[in-house]
Amino acid sequence: MARFDIPDGWTMQAYRFALDPTPRQQPVLRSHCGASRFAFNHMLALVKAVIDQRSAERSYGISETELTPSIGWSLPGLRKIWNQRKHEHAPWWAENSKEAYNTGLDGLARSLDNWTGSRTGRRAGKPVGFPRLKTAARSRRSVRFTTGTIRVEPDRHHIVLPRVGRLKTHESTRKLARRVEAGTARILSATLAQDSRRRWYVSFQTLVTVKARPGHARRSPHPVVGVDVGVKADALLVIAAPDGCEVARVRAPKPSTAMQARLRVLQRRAARQQGPYDPVTKTRRRPSKRWQATTARIARIHGRAAAVRRDVLHKITTELAQQYQVITVETLNAAGMRSAGGARKKGLNRALADAALAQVRQMLAYKTRWYGSILVEADRWFPSSKTCSGCGGRKPSLTLADRVYSCESCGLSIDRDRNAAINLARLGETRLSRVGEQGCAGSGSVPGRGAIRKSEPARAGEAGGRETSTPSQLWLGSAGTASPQGEAA
């Protein structure tokens, strides 16, 4: 599919606001989301029927030229067929915006493209199956508006969307409104969605002028740092410099762990109530009102935990991108780390999910571009934990229970996470020197995933003998820096 080219001097940014729709507006929002789901399911059923028909005709020996005409899977092709069929199969289509149906067709086109790309080898990652029908109970309610009246009202507390009208926001929209009024931001689209807590949100995809590092964000005396992520309560992020100095150590918020007691009580209560599935007859049934109320409370707790986790990670990554010139992180297979183990590994899997390890690199990827820093992504097989930061030796194996790295060659004994952060920092220093030699230094991301599986060992440098631990800091203000500032992402 065609991609949008960002003009020079501009970058993409999203603004997300909670909404307070009136009781009359909520059915309108649900109707638009339902229309998107209907268009997706209707065209998917048609595509599947044509595929099955052509397969059956081939089994009868019919030539390819005489088969039932196939349906184009691109968005324009699906939209053309939908416009021909909507008057017969969806006579109520005029009640909703055309963007609602376009959202469902766009999602179907992307799903079919991912399926074909996975089958032909064009798409990396896990195999993608054929799209499935969406249900009202399980599918996420969302609709995207790309045309029509999309604006933020001057009163800073209302927005306007096509056919939906004027919606009140739960929070002020001044951060986006000021940039739009100043001409430094332009709204491209708006996505209306409902989360698991039944709260409605609107996300504006905007094109903004290139952001600069704030004047209050002072640079750290350590320009190059390595960031090692973990799941321990006292070491969500361990930040170290190439010379072996531990710059900072950030504690893990662990919001889900803190709310396990409340979740356990509510989940047991929901199990005793009448849910949507009857285990005796193995059929679906109408859930009770109390079960719905209990599950709504469970969803609110999960939403609260996600908000706390996202807030902490945004503050940490913003300060990292503003204070340091080069940041080196690992390319972790977060999904693969939680894919096996069963019941014996459920505690570790819960800790990995609560830490959200993959979000750190994801947030740094665009924030380093905003603030002119360089992000170095270490290869997935880079042995940051197994390599000695003193002599460069490598251990053949290292278990999760080994929290202290003890080198058999030079006798160095150092915290495992700090040792990994030092090795990552030296890798970033090496990559930075290579980029400088090629004359390509500057802001942006320097990918570290090379073509070889086995990466070169980290450079030992002159850190040997200076591995005494520095006082750990709970935040990133250890180098005389300012306290973390909020980020409107």
Q: What percent of the chain shows pLDDT beyond 90?
A: 43
The residues carrying an active-site annotation are: 228, 330, 417
Rounded average pLDDT over 273-284: 89
Distances (CA, A) of 225 to 185, 243, 259: 32, 10, 33
Rounded percentage of the chain residues whose pLDDT exceeds 70: 86
The mean pLDDT value for 316-340 works out to 84
pLDDT at 348: 74
Q: Do the beta carbons of residue 217 and residue 322 sit within 8 Å?
A: yes
Model confidence pLDDT, tens digit, residues 41-97:
999 999 999 999 999 999 998 888 888 888 888 999 999 999 999 999 999 999 999
Element housing 301 (H / E): helix 289-323
| Mean pLDDT along residues 4-23 | 89
- Compute the average pLDDT of residues 24-40: 95
pLDDT tens track for 221-237? 888 999 988 877 677 88
- pLDDT score of 411 more than 90: no
Tokens coding 33: 């989301």
Of the candidate ranges 14-23, 71-80, 258-267, 396-405, the one whose mean pLDDT is the lowest:
396-405
What is the amino acid identity at position 230? Answer: G
Question: What is the reported pLDDT for 436?
Answer: 56
Residues 33, 38: Cα–Cα separation, whole Å: 9
- Burial level of 203, CB count in 10 A (0-12/13-18/19+)? middle
Residues 145-202: tens digit of each pLDDT:
999 999 999 999 999 999 999 999 999 999 999 999 999 999 999 999 998 888 999 9
Q: pLDDT at residue 471 above 80?
A: no
